[in-house]
Each structure stands twice: as C-alpha cells, then as structure tokens.
Amino acid sequence: MTAPRAPVEEWCTMEQNKLDPSAESLALVLIRHLRNLEQGEVARLIGMSPSQLSDYERSERPVPREVLERVAQVADLPVTMLDALVWILRSFRAAANVRSREGRALADSIATELIALVREAQDLIAEVSRQNDEPFPEDDPEE
C-alpha cells in the first residue's frame, strides 16, 4: 500500500501549464485586480462566460490577444501598455527561475520594474478617472 501524496507532491506533478501560467494569464489577473473588478463582472463586460475567463486566468487555455485587449479596455488601461506588461511578467518569471545570486538580483530588479509599471498604470487610470469627472472648461459655469 502506498502512502497518499502530500499536497505539495501532487502539485509538483501537475501538468506543466498549470505550474507555469503564461504571462498573458498573469496580466489578465493583474489588470483585473488593479481595478478591483470581479471575474464575473469582467466576463460580462467583455461578452464572455465567467468559466471561459477563469480558464484563461488559470492558463487552461491560451489567452488570445483580443481578450487581453478587451479586458484592458474594460479596466481603462491603455492597450499600448499591454506589451510592456507582458514583457515584464515574462522577464520576471524567467529571472525568478534562476537559482544564482545574479539571477535573484535580476529578479529583484525586474520586480521593482513591475511595481513601477503597476504604479504608472494606476496613475494613468486615476488621471483618466479624474478627467472624466471634471467639467470641461467650456462647461464650467463660473467662467
């Protein structure tokens, strides 16, 4: 009789795509959490079933570029930032898999860049929100 596998051992023997989520999947989750949006709400807004979006976020299926762009639009994130975000996520994951001191330093550096990118995205989103809430100069009754 064999002993039951520990949860960690079972997790380590899962399919590779479940252990190694794509940068696009991570970007979907990051964008959604950045705007504090629920998965079901995002799915509804982009015209997709919640289970399909969940599959994309868990890397069960490859994320089409169109889906990534629609999620960015729903979150008011400039689509032009997607390539940079995906690149940073890929670079961070690659560097994080390195065991050397130099590799860890690189991973720390990339993590810092990722945090800066997220902050920049938050600032851009906040600026757009402020602009949408403020009256245009020609609409201002005090002028």
Nearest to 54 by CA among 21, 11, 91: 21
pLDDT band for position 134 (cuts 50, 70, 90): low
According to CATH, what is the number of the domain 13-134?
1.10.260.40
Nearest to 24 by CA among 74, 67, 75: 67
Report pLDDT digits (tens) over 31-44: 888 888 999 999 99
Report pLDDT digits (tens) over 76-133: 888 888 888 888 888 777 766 766 777 767 777 777 777 777 778 777 777 776 777 6
Task: Write down the domain spans for the chain.
Answer: 13-134
Nearest to 116 by CA among 84, 90, 68: 84
* Amino acid type, 50: P
